[in-house]
C-alpha cells in the first residue's frame, strides 16, 4: 500500500496564493445572478404587504393582467396547498414546508411589512412594476406584535391560530400562543445561588438586524414543457434550495437543477429561498424564463434578518471568582414563523465557562417581522452581549482582572457543555495567555473618556455532509468540483488542500462549484463548514486519486502493489531504487494504464468543532454626543490551521466589522404600525470603511483532530464578541453600562446624562 498520509511540514497550506475568482470580481467580469440573461426572458416584480399584520380579504389582479406587456400574474392561490410537512435536513433540523411556502407568497394572512402576496411577469421590469401597482388588495387590519415581550404578554394578539414549534437544530415545545420554549440545565441553581457571595441580575435587549450583503437576491427560473425546472441564482446551498423548491412547487427533486452563480455576500441570509418559487410559477404560466431581482428595500423587508432579543441574566459568584450558578432567560424573535436562532444562542451563551448549577430558559417568539434566518454565528452576538457584559461586571465588582476571572472559570477540553456533551479538543488556556501577553493588553491607555474592553467566545462549527469530485487530466492539471458555494475564497482554500494532499502546485488545481445535477448532495456553505468539512472530503478524494495513481505506476513498472510510494508529487518504486515518475508524467500516461483517473465522494464530518475568539478594543466616547470611536481593535482567534492566512485574517476582520456594526448602529426601525422605516443602506447604518480602524489579527492554531490539517473553520465566531467588548470598553471609558444594543449615540448620551447626578453626588 502506498504511503499517502499528510506530512507535518506543509508545501501549500499556510501560503496565501491569489484566488482564481479574484481578478474577475474586481474587474466586474464575474457572473453574478443579475448578470445572467436568457432569450425571451421576462422580468418579475412582487407586490408586498404594506401592513405588518392583516387578513387578506380579496386580491383583484384584473387590471394588472390587462396591461400590455404583462405575461403572467400569480398569487397565493397558484401555490399548491402543502401540508405542515417537516423536511428532515440532518442536523440542520426539520423544516416546515408549508410555512416556507407561505413566507414566499402569503395565502390568507400577511404577517409582516413586505410579505409577498402577488407577482407579475412582464416583458420588461418597468411594465412589471406598473402592473404590480395596479393590483388591488382588500385587507382586514390586525394589531401588529413587534417585539418578544409584547408577543409573550398575556393579552398579546395571536399571530397564528396554530403554529408549529421551530426546529432550527433543536426542537422546541409550544409554550404560549406566540412562543415555544427550549430548556437546558445542569446542577441545582437554587443551591448554587445560596453558595454565592455575590449575585447580579441584569436585563439586556437587542434590536432586529440584517446581514447586509451587498448583492440582493436575484433568480432566473425556467419551467419547461416536461416540468423540468432550472434555477440560476446566488445561494449558499444549491441542494437546500432544490429540495425546498421541489416541495413548494411539487415536482420531483430530480426535475430540478439549481445552478449557483457568483455570490455577493450571504452571511447566512442566502441559504433559504424567497423569490425562486415565485419565478418558477411565473415561468410555468408564461412559458418563458423569468428573472426576479429584489430591490434593496425588499431585501430588508422580506428576507431573513437576525433576531431582536430580550435576555435576563442572574449570575452568582464566590468572592474568589468561582461562578456558582446562573439563570438565563433568553427570548429570541422568530419573526413571522417559528424557528429562529434560539438554540445556537442558548448553546453559545455560557459555553466557555464551567458553571456547575445552571438553568437556561429559551423562547422562540413569533412576531410580525420577517422570518429570522441565520446570520453569521446565529444568536451568539446577542447572547454574548449579555453574558460577556455580566462576566465583566462580576469581575469589576470583585476587583478581579477580567482575564484572571475568565481563567478561573475557563472551560477546557472534555468539560461538560450545557447540552451534555464534552468540549472537543482545543487549547482554551493558550488563548487567554496569548491575550494577556499581547502588546495591546499590556499597553497603557491614556486620555479622557477612553476605555478598554474584552470579550471571549467559543463557537461551534458544523461538519456534516459534503461532496467533492476530482479528475486528473492528461496534462497534469486537476479539476476539482465541490457542491459548496464560495462565499469567502473557499475555492482556493479547497484547491490548496487538494494540492497539498496531491503534492502538486495549487495552480494545477482548477476549483469549481457545481450545479445540483453534476455532483452529490452537500449541506450549504454555512456554519464555518466549507474549508473544514468540504476540505476534509477533498483530502479524502485526493488520497483516493493518489491511490489510483500509485496503482497506475504499479502497472507501468510491472511491480508489486505496495511497492509504489508518493511524496511531493513524485512516485517511486521501492523495489527499484531510482525509478521515479512525476505526477504530471504519470497523468500523461493515464490512457495506457487504464484510462481516466477520477473520483467522487460524498463524505461526512464531525460537528460541534469548537473555535475560540477573544476581542480586545480601545474606544473613546464623546460624552456630549454619545459617539463611540474605536481607537484600536485586536481579534484573537483559534482557527485550528489557517489554510490561507490572508483570507483567514479577512474572515476575522470581516466578522468583527459586522459585530461592530451591530454593536454601535445597526437596527431595524419600525413605526407604531409595524412598518419598517429604514429599509435602505442610507438609514440602516452598516459601518463604512471610515468607521473602523485597521483591525489587528492574531491567529492561533490548535489543531482540530477531525481534519487532516487541523482546520477548524473560521468564518463566524468573530462576529460574536464585538458588542460585549465594546460595551465593556464604554464602561471602562465613561463608567456607564449599556444594556441595550445597538449602543447608538442617543443611548450612550442618555446613559451618560443619567449617571451625571449620581457622579456629582
Among 28, 688, 757, 761, binds another protein (CB under 8 A): 688
Q: Report whether 59 contacts 125 (CB < 8 A).
A: no
C-alpha torsion sign, points 230, 234, 238, 241: negative
Within 10 angstroms of residue 28's Cβ, the number of other Cβ atoms is 8
595 vs 584, 588, 592, CA distance in Å?
A: 15, 10, 7
Contact between 621 and another protein by CB under 8 A: the answer reads: no
* 633-672 footprint of another protein as x/- string (CB under 8 A): -------------------------------xx---x---
22/420 Cα distance (integer angstroms):
43
Q: Which three cell numbers stand for residue 208?
A: 432586529
Closer of 430 and 747 to another protein (Cβ):
747
| Count of residues engaged in binding another protein, rule: CB under 8 A | 26
Whole-angstrom distance, CA of residue 380 vs CA of residue 382: 5
CB of 689 to another protein, least distance (A): 8
Question: Sheet containing 290-293: which strands, arranged edge to edge?
Answer: 70-75, 116-122, 42-48, 290-293, 218-223, 229-233, 256-260
Report whether 399 contacts 214 (CB < 8 A): no
Please say which residue, 37 or 746, places its beta carbon nearer to another protein: 746
Listed residue (496, 518, 519) closest to 509, CA to CA: 496
User: Which range of residues in 83-91, 344-352, 455-463, 621-629 is near another protein by CB under 8 A?
Assistant: 621-629
756 scored as a contact of another protein (CB under 8 A):
no
Helix (H) / strand (E) containing 201: strand 198-206
Terminal Cα-to-Cα distance of the chain (whole angstroms): 81
CB closer to another protein, 131 vs 614: 131
Instruction: Please report whether residue 753 would count as binding another protein according to CB under 8 A.
Output: yes
Cβ proximity to another protein, 182 vs 299, nearer residue: 299
Q: How far is the CB of 134 from another protein (least distance, A)?
A: 12
Q: Footprint of another protein on residues 282-341 (CB under 8 A)?
A: 297
Residue from 746, 754, 756, 759 that binds another protein (CB under 8 A)? 746
Would you count residue 625 as binding another protein (CB under 8 A)? yes
Q: Which one of the spans 55-63, 185-193, 339-347, 747-755 is the region binding another protein (CB under 8 A)?
A: 747-755
Q: DSSP alpha helices (H): ranges in 179-237?
A: 189-195
Is residue 37 at the binding interface for another protein, with CB under 8 A as the rule?
no
The CA–CA distances, whole Å, from 473 to 549, 687, 711 equal 12, 46, 28
- The single residue among 474, 677, 693, 759 that binds another protein, judged by CB under 8 A, is 677
* Binding range to another protein, per CB under 8 A, among 54-62, 421-429, 475-483, 684-692: 684-692
Contact flag: residue 678 with another protein (CB under 8 A): yes
Q: How far is the CB of 212 from another protein (least distance, A)?
A: 13
**In angstroms, what is the minimal distance from the CB of 631 to another protein?**
13
Q: Which stretch binds another protein (CB under 8 A): 105-113, 123-131, 209-217, 389-397?
A: 123-131
Tell which positions 125-164 bind another protein, by CB under 8 A: 126, 129-130
Work out how close the CB of 630 gets to another protein at its nearest, in angstroms, rounded to a whole number.
Answer: 10
What are the Cα distances from residue 41, in Å, to 299, 428, 759?
A: 22, 55, 67
Looking at the DSSP bridge assignments, the partners of residue 139 are: 56
> What is the Cα–Cα distance from 519 to 232, expressed in whole angstroms?
16
Binding site for another protein (CB under 8 A): 126, 129-130, 297, 624-627, 664-665, 669, 677-678, 682-683, 685, 687-688, 690-691, 744-746, 749-750, 753
Amino acid at each position: 500500500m502506498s504511503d499517502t498520509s499528510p506530512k507535518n511540514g506543509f508545501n501549500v497550506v499556510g501560503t496565501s496564493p491569489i484566488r482564481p475568482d479574484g481578478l474577475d470580481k474586481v474587474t466586474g467580469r464575474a457572473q453574478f445572478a443579475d448578470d445572467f440573461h436568457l432569450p425571451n426572458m421576462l422580468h418579475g416584480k412582487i407586490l408586498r404587504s404594506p401592513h405588518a399584520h392583516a387578513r387578506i380579504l380579496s386580491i383583484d389582479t384584473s387590471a394588472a393582467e390587462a396591461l400590455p406587456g404583462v405575461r403572467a400574474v400569480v398569487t397565493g392561490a397558484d401555490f399548491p396547498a402543502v401540508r405542515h410537512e417537516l423536511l428532515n435536513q440532518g442536523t440542520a433540523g426539520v423544516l416546515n414546508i408549508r410555512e416556507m411556502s407561505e413566507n414566499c407568497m402569503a395565502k390568507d394572512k400577511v404577517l409582516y411589512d413586505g410579505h409577498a402576496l402577488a407577482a407579475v411577469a412582464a416583458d420588461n421590469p418597468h411594465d412589471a412594476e406598473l402592473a404590480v401597482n395596479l393590483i388591488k388588495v382588500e385587507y382586514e387590519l390586525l394589531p401588529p406584535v413587534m417585539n418578544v415581550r409584547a408577543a409573550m404578554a398575556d393579552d398579546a394578539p395571536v399571530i397564528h391560530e396554530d403554529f408549529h414549534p421551530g426546529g432550527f437544530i433543536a426542537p422546541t415545545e409550544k409554550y404560549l400562543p406566540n412562543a415555544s420554549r427550549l430548556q437546558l440545565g445542569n446542577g441545582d441553581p437554587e443551591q448554587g445561588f445560596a453558595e454565592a457571595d455575590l449575585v447580579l441580575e441584569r436585563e439586556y435587549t437587542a434590536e432586529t438586524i440584517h446581514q447586509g450583503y451587498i448583492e440582493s437576491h436575484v433568480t432566473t427560473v425556467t419551467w419547461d414543457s416536461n416540468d423540468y425546472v432550472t434555477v440560476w441564482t446566488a445561494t449558499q446551498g444549491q441542494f437546500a434550495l432544490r429540495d425546498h423548491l421541489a416541495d413548494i412547487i411539487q415536482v420531483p427533486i430530480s426535475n430540478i437543477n439549481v445552478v449557483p452563480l457568483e455570490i455577493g455576500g450571504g452571511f447566512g441570509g442566502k441559504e433559504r429561498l424567497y423569490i425562486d418559487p415565485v419565478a418558477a410559477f411565473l415561468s410555468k404560466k408564461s412559458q418563458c424564463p423569468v428573472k426576479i431581482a429584489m430591490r434593496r428595500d425588499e431585501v430588508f423587508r422580506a428576507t431573513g434578518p437576525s433576531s431582536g432579543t430580550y435576555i435576563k441574566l442572574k449570575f452568582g459568584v464566590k468572592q474568589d471568582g468561582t461562578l456558582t450558578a446562573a439563570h438565563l432567560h433568553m427570548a429570541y424573535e422568530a419573526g413571522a414563523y417559528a424557528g429562529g436562532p434560539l438554540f445556537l444562542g442558548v448553546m453559545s451563551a455560557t459555553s466557555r465557562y464551567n458553571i456547575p448549577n445552571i438553568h437556561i430558559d429559551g423562547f422562540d417568539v413569533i412576531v410580525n417581522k420577517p422570518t429570522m434566518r441565520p446570520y453569521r454565528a446565529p444568536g451568539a452576538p446577542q447572547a454574548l452581549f449579555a453574558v460577556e457584559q455580566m462576566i465583566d461586571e462580576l469581575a469589576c465588582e470583585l476587583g478581579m482582572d477580567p482575564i484572571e476571572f475568565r481563567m478561573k472559570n475557563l472551560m477546557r477540553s472534555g468539560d461538560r457543555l450545557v447540552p451534555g456533551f464534552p468540549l472537543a479538543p482545543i487549547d482554551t488556556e493558550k488563548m487567554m495567555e496569548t491575550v494577556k501577553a499581547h502588546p495591546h493588553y499590556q499597553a497603557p491607555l491614556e486620555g479622557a473618556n477612553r476605555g478598554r474592553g474584552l470579550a471571549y467566545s467559543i463557537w461551534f462549527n458544523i461538519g456534516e455532509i459534503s461532496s467533492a469530485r476530482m479528475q486528473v487530466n492528461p496534462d497534469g492539471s486537476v479539476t476539482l468540483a465541490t457542491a459548496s458555494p464560495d462565499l469567502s475564497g473557499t475555492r482556493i482554500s479547497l484547491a490548496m488542500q487538494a494540492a497539498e494532499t496531491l503534492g502538486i502546485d495549487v495552480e494545477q488545481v482548477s476549483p469549481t462549484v457545481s450545479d445540483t445535477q453534476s455532483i452529490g448532495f452537500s449541506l450549504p456553505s454555512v456554519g464555518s463548514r466549507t474549508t473544514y468539512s468540504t476540505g476534509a472530503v477533498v483530502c479524502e478524494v485526493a488520497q483516493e486519486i493518489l491511490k489510483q495513481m500509485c496503482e497506475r505506476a504499479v502497472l507501468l513498472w510491472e511491480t508489486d502493489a505496495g511497492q509504489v510510494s508518493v511524496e511531493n508529487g513524485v512516485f517511486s518504486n521501492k523495489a527499484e531504487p531510482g525509478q521515479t515518475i512525476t505526477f504530471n508524467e504519470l497523468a500523461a500516461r493515464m490512457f495506457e494504464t487504464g484510462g481516466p483517473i477520477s473520483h467522487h465522494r460524498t463524505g461526512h464530518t464531525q460537528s460541534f468543532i469548537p473555535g475560540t475568539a477573544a476581542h480586545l478594543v480601545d474606544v473613546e466616547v464623546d460624552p456630549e454626543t454619545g459617539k463611540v470611536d474605536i481607537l484600536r481593535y485586536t481579534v484573537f482567534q483559534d482557527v485550528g490551521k489557517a489554510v490561507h492566512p490572508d483570507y483567514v485574517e479577512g474572515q476575522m476582520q470581516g466578522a468583527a466589522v459586522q459585530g461592530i456594526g451591530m454593536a454601535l448602529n445597526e437596527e431595524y426601525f419600525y413605526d407604531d404600525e409595524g412598518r419598517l422605516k429604514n429599509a435602505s443602506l442610507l438609514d440602516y447604518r452598516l459601518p463604512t470603511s471610515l468607521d473602523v480602524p485597521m483591525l489587528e489579527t492574531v491567529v492561533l492554531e490548535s489543531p482540530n483532530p477531525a481534519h487532516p490539517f487541523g482546520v477548524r473553520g473560521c468564518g463566524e465566531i468573530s462576529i460574536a464578541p464585538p458588542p460585549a467588548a465594546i460595551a465593556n470598553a464604554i464602561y471602562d471609558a465613561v463608567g456607564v453600562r449599556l444594556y441595550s444594543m445597538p449602543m447608538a449615540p442617543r443611548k450612550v448620551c442618555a446613559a451618560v446624562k443619567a449617571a451625571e447626578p449620581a457622579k456629582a453626588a
